[in-house]
Chains A and B, each alone.
Chain A
Amino acid sequence: MPQTLIVDPARCTGCRSCETACSTFREGESNLFKCRIKVVRFPEEFFFYPLVCQQCETPLCAVPCPTAALKKDGRTGLVEFIREKCVGCKMCLTACPFGAISLVDGYPVKCDLCAGEPACTRLCEPGAITLGEPEAMGQSQRLLLAGKIREVYLAK
């Protein structure tokens, strides 16, 4: 069963260790501008949301890609990014509704689950990010989360 990063914002403290882990492990430097996961922060409500690629079934980022550098791998479940094919046009950035694609040195980067051992999960002390099957997240938990996001984004 394909796995993905399961995020539980209720546990996230906004410490940004995941960002540090991601950039250190993947880019070789602790740099908050070079991470594949980003913590969206609403400090006033003390609500934090680690934002990362959802490995969509129908990835919207792949739609405009003129070189087919992004594609869904049915076997692994990953939305795969093939750097060698990418020309750096950045249209995928304007297509991802989650803002889950980052730019590093002019080229997109995205979460690929670190070949099955995501660095961010190891450093997440409160356990807000775990590797698992998306189906494992209960319906009630999902509704709760959606409600919270709606509240902080859209409340009158």
Chain B
Amino acid sequence: MKRLVIVGNGGAAISALRAIRSTSKSHRITLISAEDCPAYSPVLTTYYLAGSIPYRTMFLCNRDFYRRHGVRAILGDGVVAVEPQDQRVVLAGGNAVSYDELLVATGSSVAVPPIPGIGDCLTLWTAAEARRLREQARHAATVAVVGAGLIGMQIADALWRRGKKIVVIEMQERVLPRVMDGDGAALVAERLRGAGVELRLGEQVREVVARDGGKGLLLASGDVVEAEVVVFATGVRPNAGLLDGSGVKLSPGVEVDEGGRTNMEHIFAAGDVAQGRDPVTGRWQVNATWTNAVEGGWVAGLNMAGATASRRRCARVNVLSPLGLPVASLGMVEPEVRGDDEVVRRNGSSYQRLVFRRGRLVGAVLVGEIEAAGILSNLIDREELLPQVESRLRRRSAFHVVAGPQGFFQ
């Protein structure tokens, strides 16, 4: 019997808990989270914001869940320090909890840029933030969203559905930078503009000023955007502060191997706080996605419990549907080095780009028709040589093999 401590209460934490219990009932599990509520999925906060689900539906479980799984849950008291030499964690309230194996699954939070006048700005990531934003946006006519990444797009979508006038401000020249290639991003932008969403691309917010009944955003170009409510969706960063000085390698997420182990013995990490090595680029990167959290948590949980598990997969997979346009982004979305190859297909509002490196599929962007996303992400994970598929695609025959039913009509 081991003392297993899970810090965090999101997708990775709950998945790890289930993995541990799938192997053994006897380990003593303690779960510690700064948030005083049962586990929920940040994926669902935007659906709550849009009004399509009630607040309680965001939660994966109730408080009884922990008791039923034989877990001691400390909710509402976060871990502030990890002390590997004593194998214990220290809580904000002053208590300490000892561990035999520790999982750090503290997730991420919105990284707000240091803009003058920004103050206590609105963001969307936690359940509390979602509630606050929904409350504040209730009577607003115009909402400004700073950042056109995944979260920014989902906030824009949710509040557009509530009848708000939306202005999106993005530093890059395209929406969904890093997630989409240029052409795919243009299709998304077209859809947004067509629905009346105002896009200010290549623009930076210099200052936030108070305005009568709202805020004014001074942009680098000299323009001013006025809105009753301003939301910052400027990316997320790992909640790794508790590991400062612990000896665990951070850059800035926690570096973990295929089994979720950090460089320190008995310390694991999973989810948004962890970063894996991308099989294609070899770069360490954080994949702040729900799927990645659930999978990483499962593997780490099994290893903590003494089983052996690993995963190669850490390809970036994202899916969203801004204003009803389904979009999937898998792995590397644009050729990066010489010799990378791509096949692009366009058919009405449907668009696909597949990126190959040395005969292997390494990435894809799907817009409109995304039903092949699962097949493609599986092919990316398997790193299988696909000369036949690639040459078929090049000959423009049998595109439907990997890219959906519409190929039939070409």
Partner of B371, one of A88, A102, A153, A154: A102
Q: Which secondary structure characterizes the binding site on chain A? A: loop
Which residues between 84 and 108 of chain A lie within 8 Å of chain B, taking CB atoms? 87-91, 93-103, 106
B371 touches A94 (CB 8 A): no
Q: Identify the closest chain B residue to A105 (Cβ).
A: B324
Which residues between 35 and 83 of chain A lie within 8 Å of chain B, taking CB atoms? 38, 40-44, 61, 63-64, 66-68
B319 touches A154 (CB 8 A): no
B370 touches A38 (CB 8 A): no
Partner of A88, one of B11, B321, B406: B321
As a 0/1 sequence over residues 33 to 66 of chain B, the CB contacts with chain A under 8 angstroms (1 = contact) are 0000000010110010000110001001000000
A154 touches B60 (CB 8 A): no
Residues of B within 8 A of A99 (CB): 371-375
Q: Which of B96-104, B188-196, B279-287, B396-404 contacts A (4 or more CB under 8 A)?
A: B396-404
Is there a chain A Cβ closer than 8 Å to B377's Cβ? yes
Partner of B294, one of A38, A63, A67, A102: A63
With A33-B405, A153-B389 in contact, is A96–B374 under 8 Å at CB? yes
A87 touches B405 (CB 8 A): no
Is there a chain A Cβ closer than 8 Å to B378's Cβ? yes
Partner of B52, one of A43, A66, A87, A90: A87
Is there a chain A Cβ closer than 8 Å to B386's Cβ? yes
Is there a chain A Cβ closer than 8 Å to B225's Cβ? no
A143 to B127, CA, bound (A): 50
Is there a chain A Cβ closer than 8 Å to B295's Cβ? yes
B400 touches A106 (CB 8 A): no
Q: Identify the closest chain A residue to B292 (Cβ).
A: A64
Nearest chain B CB to A19's CB is how many angstroms away? 8
B374 touches A154 (CB 8 A): no
B375 touches A98 (CB 8 A): yes
A41 to B372, CA, bound (A): 14
Which residues between 356 and 410 of chain B lie within 8 Å of chain A, taking CB atoms? 370-375, 377-378, 384-389, 397-398, 400-401, 405-406, 408
A94 touches B405 (CB 8 A): no
A67 to B384, CA, bound (A): 32
Is there a chain B Cβ closer than 8 Å to A155's Cβ? yes
Residues of B within 8 A of A101 (CB): 371, 374
Interface residues on B, range: 35 or more
Is there a chain A Cβ closer than 8 Å to B290's Cβ? yes
A66 touches B374 (CB 8 A): no
Partner of A91, one of B290, B378, B384, B397: B290
B371 touches A152 (CB 8 A): no
A66 touches B44 (CB 8 A): yes
With A41-B398, A43-B398, A66-B41 in contact, is A91–B291 under 8 Å at CB? yes
Q: Identify the closest chain A residue to B378 (Cβ).
A: A97
Q: Identify the closest chain B residue to A19 (Cβ).
A: B405
A91 touches B388 (CB 8 A): no
Residues of A within 8 A of B290 (CB): 64, 66, 91
Is there a chain B Cβ closer than 8 Å to A32's Cβ? yes
Is there a chain A Cβ closer than 8 Å to B84's Cβ? no
Q: Which of A90, A100, A106 has the most CB of B within 10 A?
A: A90
A91 touches B371 (CB 8 A): no
Residues of A within 8 A of B385 (CB): 154
A95 touches B47 (CB 8 A): no
A33 to B385, CA, bound (A): 30
B291 touches A90 (CB 8 A): no
B328 touches A32 (CB 8 A): no
Partner of A32, one of B374, B375, B405: B405
Q: Which of A40, A64, A88, A100 has the most CB of B within 10 A?
A: A64
A-B contact pairs, 17 of them (CB 8 A): A32-B405, A42-B398, A42-B401, A67-B41, A67-B57, A87-B53, A88-B321, A89-B47, A90-B326, A93-B328, A94-B319, A94-B370, A94-B377, A99-B372, A99-B374, A154-B384, A155-B388
3 pairs of A and B residues whose beta carbons are closest in the complex? A66-B41, A97-B378, A96-B374
Given contacts A38-B405, A100-B374, A155-B388, list 10 more A-B pairs with CB under 8 A: A42-B401, A64-B290, A66-B11, A66-B43, A66-B44, A67-B57, A87-B53, A96-B374, A98-B374, A101-B371
